[in-house]
Amino acid sequence: MLLRYSAQAQGKPHKRAEIYTAREHAISRRDIDPEAVKIVRRLKSAGHSAYIVGGAVRDLLAGKKPKDFDVATDAAPRQIKRIFRNSRIIGKRFRLVHIFFPDKIIEVSTFRAPDSGGDTNVFGTIQEDVARRDFTLNALYYCPLEEIIIDYIGGVRDIRKKKIVPLIPLKVIFSEDPVRMLRAVKYAAILGFSLSFLTRRRIKAQASLLAGISGSRLTEELYKILQSGEAAPIFREMYALGIVRYFIPGLDKRLKAQVFRESFFAALTAHDTAAFRGMERSLMIAPLIEDYVKLLAREALPEKLQFKDAYGAVKKMLHPIVAANKDIAIALVPLFRRKKPSRPPKRGAGREKLRPAASRLSAAQV
């Protein structure tokens, strides 16, 4: 292992970072997105430092296949845009650059400095960028050209120990951004890592802070969970920690019934076997609402449940999640579909096949 030093005020050397070589970290450059490698190479050729960061490095070290490859650099957004014509600057709270390729978008961020007077567009050094990250496993910097990992905070060791260690003090990490609670649980389930007793206790104590997060942010986190392939264990842990109560209160209320809870988690487990990146959102919503709609149909006896009533009830149950209206409607369609006729339809009845669903759901169909 190589070490990176800096001089203290007294002139004494001070260890800043540990550098893992290719032999020590075992990440193969063949596993790195070639477009991300090109971005790093071009930024370095232009005189900047650049690294693959965050989730991609974490997943590769944990033996998982990354879904995205993000790049961090000391180049400012406008400098990045001048280097890459196929790019666009996005964001107001913190400016990022999206570089477009035919089948993907790679996000490039500038090293961030600590907040200064509420201005989040303050750029800094790589060491300052480390301090802005949430957990040690997300604060690793990989150079695909030199094939080294730069580790300022012991993130490699934490990954090898299968631990999720907050980089920000526990007393403030979740109050600064409550969404980190969802991410901590998600990382633990996907990677097979453990949350410490103190972290779990802090999440339980501060789960109510999620009630103040915008519906749009919670919705994006929900979809990431539902396409992770580990939605069932993630939701189980969130329910045990009291997170679902503030994430999706209407669902939490139903999960208190054991029969509903067992059926719900069985549906999520089945969903996980088919989940994939880019899955249509209507398919991701389906396991969340299937058992709820069947329950509504039973409660509607002796009447039949109307499609419009189920639609309204699902919207209310999912709040504050802001799923698109069309996605909810499409997810409901299979639950209201008529049974296939036992004999061929009469001539001229072909139009009936184009109707996606019956307008009512009876108890016999659930």
From 33, 59, 70, 272, the catalytic residue: 70
N-to-C CA span, the chain:
61
Catalytic site residue from 59, 74, 129, 134: 134
Q: Give the closest residue to 218 by CA, choosing from 195, 247, 238.
A: 247
CA 88 to chain centroid = 23
Determine the longest span between alpha carbons in the chain, in angstroms. Answer: 94
Q: Is 70 a catalytic residue?
A: yes
Locate 260 and state its tokens.
Answer: 């509903």
Active site residue 68: yes
Read off the tokens for 139: 């604060």
From the number of C-beta atoms within 10 Å of its C-beta (0-12, 13-18, 19+), residue 289 rates as buried
User: Would residue 177 show up in a list of annotated catalytic residues for this protein?
Assistant: no
Catalytic residues: 68, 70, 134
